[in-house]
A and B are shown apart, each in its own frame.
Chain A
Amino acid sequence: MSALLDIQELHVHYSDLAAIRGVSLHVDEGEVVCLVGPNGAGKSTMLAAVAGGVKPTSGSIRFDGGSLRSVRPEQIARLGVSLVPEGRQIFGTLTVEENLRIGGYISSDRKAAASDFDRLLVTFPRLKERLAYPAGRLSGGEQQMLAVARAVMTQPRLLLVDEPSLGLAPLIIEQIYKTLLELRAERGLTLFINEQSSARVLKYADRIYILRGGQIQLEGRASDLRDGDAIRKAYFGFSAGSQRAAENVA
């Protein structure tokens, strides 16, 4: 079976700086795969490269068999890949409703987009109450929900989520993950999620990759990695005597 997203030997540079150094990974249809790593590991660069916002130096990115390299971001969105970026990047001066509708403009079928909009509001009741609000006035958790809902409005097959828990309270993070899994069950979405905390990820992911210094350090099924020592070693690059630091992350 071929993977929905297949990345081989990917290299990304920001001028002289190598951000991604030969990463190969794959995400199968229907899976929840998490990319875990400390700040600056290159997680956001990975997702931006898939979404078309960053041009790779070399390597291949294939979605559903077709190459995504040198495809424009707006075209990648049309192919069925949608990004929920780090820091949410909602359109703060637009209303909540406009933020959502704009994702639906991708589809030429206006009726389908409209019914999808209604269906989505059932999943996101908080947003339904605030449709006419300028999106910039929502709370952080609501903005994260809006960013997810906006991305889903493009009717993607693969949803890329960049650090959905950033700056949010644990209870709200819990809620966001529940919603993501709900969306997967409802729509057959495939999820590729960035996270800093490995503890949370082990709970929700099918498989995880640990990224540090632009390279994959560890790969495995979440169920096989419950014992944290291998993860700690991959995450920090060392294991002994790093208990306290590791606990802070977990």
Chain B
Amino acid sequence: MISFFQNVIDAVALGSIYALVALGIGLIFGILRLINFAHGDMITVGCYALIVPSTDAAAQLLIGSWTPLAAIAAIAIIVLLVALSTDALVFKHLRRASPTTLMIASFAVSYVTQNALLMAYGARAKGVDFWSGVNVQIAIGELRVPLLQLITVAVTFALMMLLNLFLRYTRYGIQMRAAAEDFRMAQYIGVRGNIVIGLAFAISGMLAATVSLLYVTQSGSLSITMGVPLVLFAFVAVVIGGMGNLLGSVVGGFLIGILLTMLQAYLPPDLRAFRDAFAFAFVILVLLVRPAGLIPARNTIERV
């Protein structure tokens, strides 16, 4: 029983990470109809920004050695700026393009970002000792819970609450929701398209920065392609949650995290190597039953 609860905590913590990544993808998709595969690379940028640029195998902390508050602020600003520049340099010029074109452009942005990192930091994966102080375990009764997992879950819920308050009660939040539902109509009513798009990239950049910090603290390693599996599973989370619906993205993220953790824990050892295949089989099942996702976006339902 104890090990089950242990697994539940693991699952929720992993689900939190996927939920944060899925939110970043879902926000941009809502406004621009862009499936941004480069979002994972924004996370990678946030991780690499912590260390000194060099091709050495051993990573030396740069921003990562600052006080936590300064490091968090610096990483958030760096990732936000990189995310905004992907829009300014690439996506801004494709506003009238089809969603397929946009998605392919995001692959291009992803490869360019990875190769830029490759030039600055080298191809080898690096170990990094970042905030290892939070990798302690706290005993709650018989449970032993890693402090970092508690922080991950707490930060995720805090950010989701903040985002929800922002979208519901501020004028920019309401404008973002309107633009997500009907971008052209929002412009007709005076909503400035570029501000709303900029906000979407800025918020998703900050979500990516958060994931960077949580992820690298946990894994203690860096690689150029570290963002790719994250964005892949988060994209799956967005699809099973329901494209264009932020609540769906969050639910999908948690579902994927829980699914992966439980499969890892309870599949027969011989089959564990095929965990991802089982996860995707489940995803296919979900989509067979509910093609529009678990919580379909209301603006995709036909209105009478």
Given known pairs A85-B185, A92-B298, the reply for A101 and B190 (CB within 8 Å) is no
Given known pairs A93-B181, A93-B299, the reply for A74 and B174 (CB within 8 Å) is no
A92 close to B299 (CB less than 8 A): yes
Residues 58-91 (chain A) with a chain B CB within 8 angstroms: 72-74, 77-78, 82-83, 85, 89, 91
Stretch in A13-21, A24-32, A102-110, A210-218 with 4+ CB within 8 Å of B: A102-110
A151 within 8 A of B: yes
Bound complex: CA A197 to CA B155 (Å): 59
Residues 165-204 (chain B) with a chain A CB within 8 angstroms: 171, 174-175, 177-178, 181-182, 184-193
B93 within 8 A of A: no
Task: Choose among A89, A93, A106, A136 the residue that contacts B185 (Cβ–Cβ < 8 A).
Answer: A89
Main secondary structure, interface of B, reads helix
| Chain A residues closer than 8 Å to B182, beta-carbon distance | 89, 91
Q: Chain B 287-304, CB within 8 Å of chain A: the 1/0 string?
A: 000000000001100010
B178 close to A102 (CB less than 8 A): yes
Task: Choose among B174, B175, B189 the residue that contacts A151 (Cβ–Cβ < 8 A).
Answer: B189
Q: Which residue of A lies closest to B184 (CB)?
A: A53
| Chain A residues closer than 8 Å to B303, beta-carbon distance | 92, 136
A150 close to B189 (CB less than 8 A): yes
A51 within 8 A of B: yes
Bound complex: CA A101 to CA B178 (Å): 11
A194 within 8 A of B: no
Tell which of B178, B190, B299 has the most Cβ of chain A within 10 Å: B190
Given known pairs A89-B182, A91-B182, A92-B303, the reply for A72 and B177 (CB within 8 Å) is no
Given known pairs A72-B193, A91-B181, A92-B299, the reply for A105 and B171 (CB within 8 Å) is yes
B97 to chain A, nearest CB (A): 15
A98 within 8 A of B: yes
Enumerate the 4 nearest inter-chain pairs by beta-carbon distance, A residue then B residue, closest first: A106-B190, A77-B190, A73-B187, A89-B185
Give the interface of A toward B (CB within 8 A).
51-53, 72-74, 77-78, 82-83, 85, 89, 91-94, 98-99, 101-103, 105-106, 136, 150-151, 154
Interface pairs (8), CB distance under 8 Å: A77-B190, A93-B299, A94-B177, A102-B178, A102-B190, A136-B303, A154-B189, A154-B190
